[in-house]
Structure 1
Amino acid sequence: MMQNSQTTETARGLRSRRTRLLAGAMALGVAGVLSAQTVVPNQFALADAVKVDVAGPTDFSPVVTAVQPAVVSVRVKQEVEPRMMNFGGGRGDNFFEDLPKDHPLQRFFRQFGEQGQPQGRGGERQQPRQYGMSQGSGFFISEDGYLVTNHHVIDKGTEFTIVTDDGKEFDAKLIGADKRTDLALLKVDADREFTYVKFADDAPHVGEWVVAIGNPFGLGGSVTAGIVSARGRDIGAGPYDDFIQIDAPVNRGNSGGPAFNMKGEVIGVNAAIFSPSGGNVGIAFAIPASTATDVIMDLRDDGSVVRGWLGVHIQGVSDDIAESLGLDEARGAIVADAQDGSPAEKAGLKSGDTILSVDGTKVEGPRELSKIIAAYEPDTDVDITVWRDGKEKTIEVTLGKLPEAEKVASAEPVAPERTSLDDMGLELVTTDEAGVDGEGVVIAEVDPSGAAAEKGLRRGDRIVEVAGVAVKTPSDVVKAVADAEENGRKAVLFRIENNDATRFVALPMNIG
């Protein structure tokens, strides 16, 4: 019995010790887990999630109430081209000319033509002058009656009527218009003060609320709301495109109307919509306040906008073109052609120069260059930094006044010769053999599977420069390509002309 008692006691001790050990191990395990949970977050702390405390407005009525009296409908009387009607047997818009000569209808219309209004030659009769009516939107920018609208709203207009928010009508006169930015300034002379709005000083942010007020489909005083979708849009409307894109419902008749921020400031002038059907699809474009302010002030002062003129045809710099020129990145605007007699030509700018900056302002591309130059007054001296022959060069240019019509250069033919550039998929001939006028070498054939076809070169295009070297014969082209390859270029730059237009194309070379 003694032995069994001792055995039982020993077993109990072992179990107790095992229990203590297990408890200790579990405690260590838990401590380890807890330690990991407390240390890891401190070592890999994450930033707080974005929090927005400002909510969008649920009520636009305070803004609308304040600005709506400044927004107007613009009615434009336009002269319609008269239509010539022929009632005397001559060819024209006579729908009865195939009837027999003694047909009663023929006699009726002939008699009508003789006894009616005066006829022109061959029995033609000029119809009375006819007019059409178009409608748009606008807004007052001063209490004495100056108001802004679009150029395309007032284009070809002979009379202008302004209808205010309270239904009153006033005659207006055209102060000036600028087709390039699609802006116009009208003036109402009346013995009263008008409610007016001002342009915003700061550009809107993408996502910011916007309210559009205008005259869609002739429904004056219509209000729509949305947000700014994007900025800096280039829609191909002109050289100074810099539109604000908004998703507020804008339709026909909203043109010339304002887009407001929540302070009641005009952030843009509604000018265009993207719509396959002609109705709103949530994409509208407004001229920024920054552009409109400068243009409208010029129109108010002089009735027109005077812009600086450089006188170059330009294009963007692609990665291939940058490589062929030795530029570290695709930037600037490459000069395709300096126009005859232009400030650029007089200063020494030439085809192939890549304009990098103007008075220290960096040029990202052609659109930026156009806006920078246009902002200067004529006769202003500017320092233009160009990339030429693998290095930067600064040229001082005295800007001129932007003309209405641009000049185009001409050239002379050269002696006949013919050859091929198989690696690029081109067959070349002289201008004489091709029977065309102009300098350079004519592309006679383009291999549809070659690099030239891929870059958009076509039969009839003229190559006037290769790697900055003027070419007059096909052998000149071959030599210039070989020189570029010898210099380690992966692509060679071609200056191409067609139909008086100039562009640059970088063609890759097969370098082993």
Structure 2
Amino acid sequence: MKHLIRLIISLSIVISFSVSAAELPDFKSLVKEASPAVVNISTVQKSQSSNPLHPFIGPNGEEIPEMFRHFFRIPDSRKDQRPRRKTPQSLGSGFIISSDGYLLTNHHVISGADKVIVRLADRRELEAEVVGSDERSDVALLKIEADDLPTVELGESKELEVGEWVLAIGSPFGFDHSVTAGIVSAKERALANETYVPFIQTDVAINPGNSGGPLFNLNGEVVGINSQIYTRSGGFMGLSFAIPIDVAMDVADQLKEDGFVTRGWLGVIIQEVNRDLAESFGLEKPAGALIAKVLPSSPAEDAGLQEGDVILKFEGSEVNLSSDLPHFVGRVKPGETARVEIVRSGKKKIIGVEIGLLPNQDEIALAQQQPVPGSDNPLNLDVAELDPERKKQWQVTSGVIVKSVKQGPGADAGLMAGDVITMLNGEKVTSVRSFNAISASLQGGKAVPMRIVRRGSPMFIPVKIPE
């Protein structure tokens, strides 16, 4: 009897392992069919500067080691400061999308290159022409002179589901046609300084050299371009990010046809809605994109959007995080009208906005403010009139400047000397007198929104008067 029980248990374990093995995907056929269309990309570049590498610096001045770095090798100029010869350096990967020689890779792989060399699966090396490159999406379109080339099959990244198996082929550390697999961890991720790409997050092992290579689904279709990793060590940590192929092909088509990429533009500066701001604006939950500033002569201004509006939906898509909005706006062609659902003064409203063309971003030089005479108010702030010179410097039409912050509601809200208060509880602040009148009318125990401009950056903060 005991022998029979042991036999049954053994058979159960074998069957269990067999079922588990049967559920795992078989990538052999996929790799055989797709690998020939994956290429290695090298570049010939001018010698780098002999200055030491600058560290990655965070918003508060702290050094951030190797966070969200693109996958290319940067020579350490501290080791050798002699002039360097122009020699090919293996930088990344790419894949062929048409049999006549068009292929995709990352912008950062070929940026600044004097010459781009593509090594095919059959070991041929061909010089590539850069048809176009788009820094905002990190996509580059190349062309090599060859015929009857193997190509990848393109899929639809919007059909991807979280938990789905995916596979990457590339040249990590120069090892051609290395294959790694994993699953989709999340979709439409927004990364720092990458506002126009809704990244696919995976746990596929990606390392330097994989950049620009394809991400496949189990049908053998390319669903993304491997672009970035999150790492503290410089290697794989289970957080990899790929550009959706739908986005990449839209960029590639524009680069091929026009040589440049156009994107929609709304013309607002936005910020996240946290719990306190949601309460101050009367929202059910902290969601949406809060308009901190409407840029002059922008589509938003023409449509009547106002500072303090919270955008909840754009063309029917919910804006859960403020970082969602640039993705949605960028996909709309300039000249088209988009439906924008907002909350204004506690009431929902739909506004039609004719989307404009995204302009080049110019940095605005801002001067340091000097304190001016102050006055008292219920928020326990020392404020003063905003003179014409400061209005011009900070590009504001009205408001008061904070000279000093005493212990009280203003200090609790995080106000600082030098902040310019332009709006309080939905009302514009035009002078010290108007600010005092508005603040005196605030009800105790309730958070209200205050719009400020701090070192040129507009933002809303919640202010709560004690009961």
With structure 1 as the length reference, what TM-score do the two structures score? 0.72
Residue 147 of structure 2 is aligned to residue 187 of structure 1: no
SS of the residue aligned with 1:503?
A: strand
Residue 442 (structure 1) aligned to one of 401, 405, 412: 401
Residue 279 of structure 2 is aligned to residue 323 of structure 1: yes
Give the distance between the partners of 2:412 and 2:42, measured in 1 at CA.
50
SS of the residue aligned with 2:140?
A: strand
Residue 358 of structure 2 is aligned to residue 366 of structure 1: no
Residue 417 of structure 2 is aligned to residue 459 of structure 1: yes
Counterpart code for 2:162: V
Give the distance between the partners of 1:82 and 1:353, measured in 2 at CA.
47
Counterpart code for 1:303: G
SS of the residue aligned with 1:287?
A: strand
2:442 — aligned with what?
Answer: 484
2:7 — aligned with what?
Answer: none
My pick for the range that moved more, 52-61 or 171-180, is 52-61
Give the distance between the partners of 2:445 and 2:461, measured in 1 at CA.
14
Counterpart code for 2:126: F
SS of the residue aligned with 1:234?
A: strand
Give the distance between the partners of 1:253 and 1:453, measured in 2 at CA.
49
Give the distance between the partners of 1:55 and 1:461, measured in 2 at CA.
63
Q: Deviations over 1:351-393 (max 9, x none)?
A: 1122233344433332222122111111112333332233233
**Compared CA separation, residues 303 and 132, structure 1 to 2 (3 A):** same
Give the distance between the partners of 2:115 and 2:22, measured in 1 at CA.
46
Residue 384 (structure 2) aligned to one of 421, 429, 433: 429
Residue 117 of structure 2 is aligned to residue 161 of structure 1: yes
Rg: which structure is higher?
1
Contact 1:419 1:475 in 2 (8 A): no
**1:134 Cα deviation (Å)?**
5.0
Contact 1:314 1:366 in 2 (8 A): yes
Give the distance between the partners of 2:389 and 2:383, measured in 1 at CA.
9
Residue 289 (structure 2) aligned to one of 323, 333, 339: 333
Give the distance between the partners of 2:401 and 2:25, measured in 1 at CA.
65
Give the distance between the partners of 2:411 and 2:453, measured in 1 at CA.
16
Give the distance between the partners of 2:318 and 2:167, measured in 1 at CA.
34
Query: What is the correspondence of 1:376-455 to structure 2 with a 5 Å cutoff?
Result: 376-406=332-362, 418-420=374-376, 426-431=381-386, 437-438=393-394, 439-447=398-406, 452-453=410-411, 455=413
Give the distance between the partners of 2:268 and 2:21, measured in 1 at CA.
48
Residue 74 of structure 2 is aligned to residue 76 of structure 1: no
**1:152 Cα deviation (Å)?**
0.7
Give the distance between the partners of 1:450 and 1:433, measured in 2 at CA.
29
**1:63 Cα deviation (Å)?**
1.3
Give the distance between the partners of 2:380 and 2:35, measured in 1 at CA.
63
Q: Deviations over 1:154-181 (max 9, x none)?
A: 1112211111122111121112122111
Give the distance between the partners of 2:446 and 2:382, measured in 1 at CA.
21
1:5 — aligned with what?
Answer: none
Work out the number of aligned pairs and report it: 414
Residue 463 of structure 2 is aligned to residue 507 of structure 1: yes
Contact 2:374 2:403 in 1 (8 A): no
Contact 1:481 1:492 in 2 (8 A): no
My pick for the range that moved more, 427-436 or 337-346, is 427-436
Counterpart code for 1:159: K
Contact 1:241 1:367 in 2 (8 A): no
My pick for the range that moved more, 283-292 or 271-280, is 283-292
**Compared CA separation, residues 492 and 206, structure 1 to 2 (3 A):** same
Q: Which has the higher contact order (CA 8 A, sep 6+)?
A: 2
Give the distance between the partners of 1:225 and 1:361, measured in 2 at CA.
31
Counterpart code for 2:351: I
With structure 2 as the length reference, what TM-score do the two structures score? 0.79
Residue 312 of structure 2 is aligned to residue 356 of structure 1: yes
Q: Deviations over 1:218-263 (max 9, x none)?
A: 2211112222223332221311242222222211111101111221
Counterpart code for 2:31: V
Q: Which runs of 5+ in 1 are unaligned?
A: 1-51, 85-126
Give the distance between the partners of 1:253 and 1:407, measured in 2 at CA.
33
Give the distance between the partners of 1:291 and 1:173, measured in 2 at CA.
22
Contact 2:200 2:241 in 1 (8 A): yes
**Compared CA separation, residues 204 and 352, structure 1 to 2 (3 A):** same
Give the distance between the partners of 1:56 and 1:397, measured in 2 at CA.
49
**1:182 Cα deviation (Å)?**
1.0
**Compared CA separation, residues 365 and 207, structure 1 to 2 (3 A):** closer
Give the distance between the partners of 2:381 and 2:237, measured in 1 at CA.
45
**Compared CA separation, residues 328 and 83, structure 1 to 2 (3 A):** closer
Counterpart code for 2:382: E
**1:70 Cα deviation (Å)?**
0.9
**1:59 Cα deviation (Å)?**
4.0
SS of the residue aligned with 2:441?
A: helix
Give the distance between the partners of 2:174 and 2:412, measured in 1 at CA.
49
**1:433 Cα deviation (Å)?**
13
**1:197 Cα deviation (Å)?**
2.8
Give the distance between the partners of 2:316 and 2:239, measured in 1 at CA.
36
Give the distance between the partners of 2:386 and 2:362, measured in 1 at CA.
25
2:213 — aligned with what?
Answer: 257
2:27 — aligned with what?
Answer: 60
Give the distance between the partners of 2:256 and 2:457, measured in 1 at CA.
36
SS of the residue aligned with 2:279?
A: helix
Give the distance between the partners of 1:457 and 1:150, measured in 2 at CA.
42
Q: Deviations over 1:129-163 (max 9, x none)?
A: 96774511111112221111111111112211111
Residue 142 of structure 2 is aligned to residue 175 of structure 1: no
SS of the residue aligned with 1:256?
A: coil
SS of the residue aligned with 1:177?
A: strand
Give the distance between the partners of 1:392 and 1:288, measured in 2 at CA.
32
